[in-house]
Chain A
Amino acid sequence: MAILSTPIIGEITILDLLIFVVIICISVIIANLAGIYIKKSLSDRVRKDEMAKIVKITQVAIILIGIFISLPSFKVDFGELLLIGGTAGIIIGFASQRLVTNVGSGIFLIIERPVKIGDTVKIGETEGTIEDIRILSTTIKTYEGIYVRIPNETVFNSEITNYVANVARRFEYRIGIRYSDDADQAIQIIRELLEDHPFVLKNPPPSLYVDELGDNAVIIMVRIWAPSHEWWDVRTEMLWKIKMALEGEGISIPFPQRMVWFSDKSGSAGNTPSSAGVAGGKPGNGP
C-alpha cells in the first residue's frame, strides 16, 4: 500500500489522484442517471428544447459539485488555482484559437438565441432541424435525416434563416385557369376552401387576386398565412384540394398550348386555325 502514498506531482499522491478520479467518475455517473431520470419524468410535460436545457444544467451542476468535492484531495490552494488557470487559459487560448473562437461563438449563440433546439433552419447551405446546440458546435438533422455538425464559429458567421422564429408565415400558390373560366368564381371557390381549413389563419386573411394574364392561363395568386410549425402540412394539403375543388365546378387548369395557323396560299380568307398561316398563341382554352 506504500505505493498509494507515493507522491507523483508535488505533494499529490497516487491515492489523491485515485480519490479524485473516483469522485469525478461517480459524479459523471450520477449526472447521467439524473439526466435519464429527468427525461423519464418530464418527457411528456416539458418542451424538447427546455428539457435539453434542464438536463444539461443539472448534469453540469452535479459534475461541478463533484470537482469541488474532489479538489481537496489535490490539496489545492484556490489562489494558486486561479493563477494557474488564468495562465493556462491564456496559453491554451493562443494555442487553440479556433477552439476558443468556437466556444466564444457558442456562448454568443446561446445568449443571442437566433436558433433553438427543434427549430427548422437554414444555416449556410444546410437546411434542417436543430438537434443540439453545444459549446463548440451545433448539430442539425437535415430533411433527409442526415446528421450535420457545424462548428459554432461557422454558425455565427453564416447567414441564418430560422423558418419558425416568427409564429406565423406566409406561402403562396399560383393557380392557372382557362381564359374562358370565371376568375371571380374560381377565387370564391378557393376562398371557401381556405375558410374551412383550421390552420389557414383568419388573420392575416388569405389574399386572392388575378395576378397575371399569362400565355396559357389566367394566373390567380393565392397567399396564405399559417402557423409556422404547420405551414408545410397546409401547403401540401391545400394545393390538391384547390385543384379538385376547381375541377368539381368545371374550372380547369390548362396545359401550356400553342395554336398554329396555316396560311391559305389560294388567297381565300382564312382566319381559322385550320386555314390561317400565322403562328400564334391564343391562350388557354384547353384541355
Chain B
Amino acid sequence: MPHKAPTDGISHDDRGRNNAESQDIPLKKNPLIHEGESRMLFGRFEYPCRYESAGITFCIEQEGELFKYRRQCGSSEAEKIILSSTGSLFVHPVEPVNLPKEVTRFLEIEFPPVMMAPESEKTLFLRFPVEIGVILKQNDECQLLDVFSRAAPKYSLYGTPESGVITRYYHSDVFDQPPDTDPAETGILRLVIHNTSKGWVEVARVVFESYNMPIYFGEFVAMSALMEIFSKEIAETRVLERPLIPEMNLAIPVICARKILRIDTERKRFLMEHGVR
C-alpha cells in the first residue's frame, strides 16, 4: 500500500493565524528543511504512513487487521499497536516536559545574564527544547501515542526544595533575531521582557507553566512569551497565543492529548518569586 504524504497541519481556530501583533521577523531558512522536500516532520499523516529523515524514523504499517506503530529516534525506540483504521495521526511539537517521564509541568530556560533598564521593554530570542508528540485523533478525541525528542532532557530546581518547583531545564544563548534551529530538537522563543520596576534588573532565567503553552510550528517551531518584572526577585511569565509568523499552525496541546482535566488550565501565568537571576 503506498504511503501517504502528510497533509496540512491540524485546523485551528483563528487565534494562531491572524494576530495583529505578529511581526515580519527576518527568519533564516532552516538547514534541515530542503527546498522541494515534500515531507515535513510536523503535520497530519493518514496511516499507513512512513517518515524517515535526520535520524528519526516512524511508521504505521498494516499487519492483517492490526496497525503497528514503530518509531526510532537515536537509541530510543517505541512500538505500539493501534486497533483503529479510521483515525488520523498528527505529529506536532508538544510541551517539553514529558521526557524521559513527566515529573513537572514547568519549563526553565537559563541564558547569559541580560541587564534590563528601569521601566523598559525589550524583545530577545532564545532557544527552547522541542519534544515531538505523536497524537492519534478520531472524532475530535485526541490521544497521545508517543513522545520523543533529539534534545537531551535535564531537570532542575527553581527556588528552594520546600517551596520551589522542579523544572525542565534548558540553557540557551541570547539572540537579537530568531536563531537557526533544528525543529526536531529546538524551537525559537520570542521573549518580551518588561521591567516595570524602577531599578536595573539582571535577568538570567525564565520559568513557564506548561499547562498553557501554545506552541506553533511550520518550517520551525516557535513560542512567544512575556515576562513582566516587578522587582529583582519577582516576575510573572506567560506564554502568548501568538505565532512568530502568521503562517504558523498551532500544535495540539499535550494536556488535551493526555486527557488531563482542564481544572488547572486557567493558570496561564507563573509567578517567579525565587528570583530572575
- Does B78 make an interface contact (CB < 8 A)? no
CA of A44 to CA of B102, assembled, Å:
14
Chain B residue at smallest Cβ distance from A202: B156
B166 and A202 contacting across the interface, CB-CB below 8 Å: no
Q: Do residues B103 and A202 form an inter-chain contact, with CB atoms below 8 A?
A: no
Contact between B157 and A204, CB atoms less than 8 A apart: yes
CA distance A246 to B162 in the complex (A): 34
Known: A44-B259, A46-B261, A199-B103. A167 touches B154 (CB 8 A): no
Interface 0/1 of A159-170, CB less than 8 Å to B:
000000011110
**B104 to A, closest residue via Cβ:** A227
Partner of B161 from A42, A45, A168 at Cβ < 8 Å: A168
Complex Cα gap A167–B161 (Å) = 5
Within 8 A of B (CB), among A36-82: 42, 44-46
The answer, among A46, A167, A198, A230, for a CB contact under 8 Å with B157, is A167
CB distance from B253 to the nearest CB of A (A): 14
The reply to whether B261 and A198 contact each other, CB–CB distance below 8 Å, is no
- Kindly list chain A residues whose C-beta atoms are within 8 Å of the C-beta of B226: none
Beyond A46-B261, A201-B155, A202-B155, whether A227 also contacts B161 by CB under 8 A is no
Question: Known: A44-B259, A201-B156. Contact between A230 and B103, CB under 8 A?
Answer: yes
A183-206 vs B, Cβ < 8 Å mask (1 yes, 0 no): 000000000000010110111100
B interface, by DSSP: helix, strand, loop or mixed?
Answer: loop
A229 at the B interface (CB under 8 A): yes
A203 lies within 8 A of B157 (CB): yes
User: A225 in the interface, Cβ–Cβ < 8 Å?
Assistant: yes
Cβ-defined contact, B155 with A169, below 8 A: no
Which of A46, A167, A169, A196 has most B Cβ within 10 Å? A167
> What is the total of A-B residue contacts with beta carbons within 8 Å?
48
- Distance in angstroms from A12 CB to nearest chain B CB is 45
Cβ of B66 under 8 Å from chain A: no
* CB interface residues, A 203-217, toward B, < 8 Å: 203-204
**B166 touching A167, Cβ below 8 Å:** yes
Question: Which residues of B157-201 have CB atoms within 8 Å of chain A's CB atoms?
Answer: 157-158, 161-162, 164-166, 169
Among A166, A168, A202, A225, contact of B154 (Cβ-Cβ < 8 Å):
A202
B265: min CB distance to chain A, Å: 12
Whole-angstrom CA separation of A225 from B164 in the bound complex: 13
B113 within 8 A of A: no
Shortest Cβ distance from B260 into A: residue:
A45
**With A198-B152, A203-B157 known to touch, is A166 a contact of B103 (CB < 8 Å)?**
no
Q: B48: CB under 8 A from chain A?
A: no
Chain B residue contacts of A230, Cβ below 8 A: 103
B260 touches A201 (CB 8 A): no
Quick one: closest B residue to A42, CB to CB?
A: B261
Q: Are A167 and B155 within 8 A (Cβ)?
A: no
Q: Number of A residues contacting the other chain (C-beta, 8 Å)?
A: 19
Measured between alpha carbons, how far is A44 from B260 in the docked complex, in Å? Answer: 7
Which residue from B152, B156, B161 sits with its C-beta under 8 Å from A169? B161
CB distance from B61 to the nearest CB of A (A): 28
Residue of B nearest to A41 (CB): B261
Chain B positions within 8 Å of A204 at CB level: 157
* Closest A residue, CB atoms, query B262: A45
The reply to whether B155 and A199 contact each other, CB–CB distance below 8 Å, is: yes
Find out whether the CB atom of B164 lies under 8 angstroms from the CB atom of A198: no
- Other-chain contact of B166, A42, A44, A168, A196 (Cβ < 8 Å): A168
- A196 near B152: Cβ-Cβ < 8 Å: yes
Q: Indicate whether B118 reaches chain A with its CB closer than 8 angstroms.
A: no
B169–A202 touching, CB < 8 Å: yes
Q: B153 an interface residue at 8 Å Cβ cutoff?
A: yes
Asked if B100 CB lies within 8 Å of chain A CBs, one says yes
Name A223-270 residues within 8 Å CB distance of B: 225, 227, 229-230
Q: Return the chain B residue nearest A44 by Cβ.
A: B259
Question: What CA separation (Å) do A203 and B261 show in the bound complex?
Answer: 31
With the chains together, A168 CA to B158 CA distance in Å?
A: 10
> Which chain B residues border A227 with CB–CB below 8 Å?
103-104, 155, 166
A-B contact pairs, 10 of them (CB 8 A): A42-B261, A44-B259, A166-B162, A167-B157, A196-B152, A198-B99, A198-B152, A201-B155, A203-B156, A227-B155
Residues of A within 8 A of B (CB): 42, 44-46, 166-169, 196, 198-199, 201-204, 225, 227, 229-230
Which residues of B line the A interface, CB within 8 A?
99-100, 103-104, 152-158, 161-162, 164-166, 169, 259-261
Could you list 12 further interchain pairs (A-B, Cβ under 8 angstroms) beyond the known A202-B169, A225-B157?
A42-B261, A44-B259, A167-B157, A167-B165, A167-B166, A168-B161, A168-B164, A198-B153, A199-B103, A199-B155, A201-B156, A202-B155
